[in-house]
């Protein structure tokens, strides 16, 4: 009975403040749409960054004259390091074949001997695919006397990390700003509803109605605004990601992925923002302004 009354009063609040309610739902819809887009873009950029980092390898050139047993021993030492996931040995002969496949020229057509050194190609574990992780491993590798040189794409890794960090902060800042705007607009909408019912609320306070009972219709009103905005934004993003994008010829766009539970999380975010905005407004204006 109590919930039925609260729900009926919440719906009446929609009718009394149609314009402000529509504006609140619309802004919350745009905010959730933007936040959802941020999440999808960020998620897919993160996937792309991981794919690029997977291809970044450290190449260690081995000194001439080592026996097979010494090379195997070196490989075991390198593989024992915490940062290392896998080690591949590239012999001088394999290096010559790789040179020919990449440059289309046999090394022996250019020179009478094979100047290419044997090497290890080292793949790092995922948690160490950072500038700090790579530098830590390189420090260990350079202490081994049987290695001539160590090479990796330092500049590429640093550019990827820097750009991704900037992008992450931009997305976080945009999401927080949009959330604040949405909450403030809901606060204002609920405030107008409270003002429209100020006489009824005053009577309810005088006859001993609890604060929770008075606040409940306004909390439901905020939740409904968040729910409607969440469902609308979810439907639109679903249509774009699942229906429109797969039809596009662009290979990059057609491979867009969505995180697990993304759509329920987006609706839940709308509910949370709606509840927070209505709770702030109801707690502030009912508790203080109408009792005095």
Tally: H helices and E strands in the chain: 11, 4
**pLDDT digit string, tens, across residues 52-75:** 777 778 888 888 888 888 888 888
* SS3 state of residue 279: helix
The fold adopted by the segment(s) 57-152 is Alpha-Beta Plaits (3.30.70)
Q: Closest Cα partner for 135 from 152, 159, 121, 160? A: 152
Residue (of 176, 271, 174, 291) closest to 225 by Cα position: 271
Q: Determine the 3-state secondary structure of 87 from DSSP.
A: strand
Distance CA 37, CA 171 (A): 10
What's the rounded mean pLDDT across residues 30-53?
Answer: 82
Strand order in the sheet with 58-62: 84-90, 119-124, 58-62, 147-151
Q: Band of the pLDDT at 288, cuts 50, 70, 90?
A: very low
Nearest residue to 164 (alpha-carbon basis) of 31, 40, 47, 32: 47
- The phi and psi torsions of 152 (rounded to 5 degrees) equal -160, 170
Q: What is the DSSP letter of 82?
A: T
Identify the CA nearest to 144 among candidates 66, 88, 90, 74: 74
pLDDT tens per residue, range 88-108: 888 887 877 877 676 766 666
Give pTM, 2 decimals. 0.67
Residues of the chain within CATH 3.30.70.3040 domain(s) are 57-152
Find the mean pLDDT for residues 216-232. Answer: 86
DSSP code of 255? Answer: T
Helix (H) or strand (E) holding 246, with range, is none
Structure tokens at 97: 């074949």
pLDDT tens-digit series, residues 161-197: 777 778 778 877 877 887 788 788 777 777 777 776 6
More confident site: 237 or 117 = 237
> Residues 6 or more apart from 100 whose CB is under 8 A from it?
106, 107
């Amino acid at each position: 009975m109590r919930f039925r009354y609260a729900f009926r009063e919440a719906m009446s609040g929609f009718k009394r403040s149609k314009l402000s309610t529509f504006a609140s739902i619309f802004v919350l819809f745009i905010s959730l749409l933007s936040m959802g887009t941020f999440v999808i873009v960020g998620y897919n950029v993160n996937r792309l960054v991981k794919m690029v980092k997977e291809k970044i390898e450290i190449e260690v050139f081995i000194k001439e004259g080592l026996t097979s047993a010494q090379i195997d021993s070196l490989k075991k030492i390198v593989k024992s390091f915490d940062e290392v996931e896998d080690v591949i040995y590239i012999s001088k002969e394999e290096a010559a074949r790789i040179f020919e496949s990449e440059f289309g020229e046999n090394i022996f057509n250019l020179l009478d001997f094979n100047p290419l050194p044997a090497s290890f190609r080292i793949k790092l574990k995922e948690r160490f695919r950072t500038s700090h992780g790579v530098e830590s491993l390189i420090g260990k590798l350079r202490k081994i006397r049987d290695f001539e040189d160590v090479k990796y794409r330092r500049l590429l890794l640093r550019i990827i990390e820097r750009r991704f960090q900037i992008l992450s902060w931009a997305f976080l800042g945009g999401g927080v700003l949009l959330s604040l705007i949405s909450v403030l607009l809901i606060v204002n909408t609920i405030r107008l509803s409270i003002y429209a019912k100020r006489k009824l609320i005053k009577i309810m306070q005088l006859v001993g109605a609890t604060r929770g009972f008075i606040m409940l219709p306004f909390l439901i009103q905020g939740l409904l605004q968040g729910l409607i905005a969440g469902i609308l934004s979810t439907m639109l993003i679903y249509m774009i990601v699942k229906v429109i994008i797969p039809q596009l010829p662009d290979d990059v766009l057609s491979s867009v992925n969505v995180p697990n539970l993304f759509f329920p999380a987006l609706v839940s975010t709308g509910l949370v923002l709606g509840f927070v905005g209505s709770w702030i407004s109801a707690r502030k204006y009912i508790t203080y302004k109408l009792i005095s």
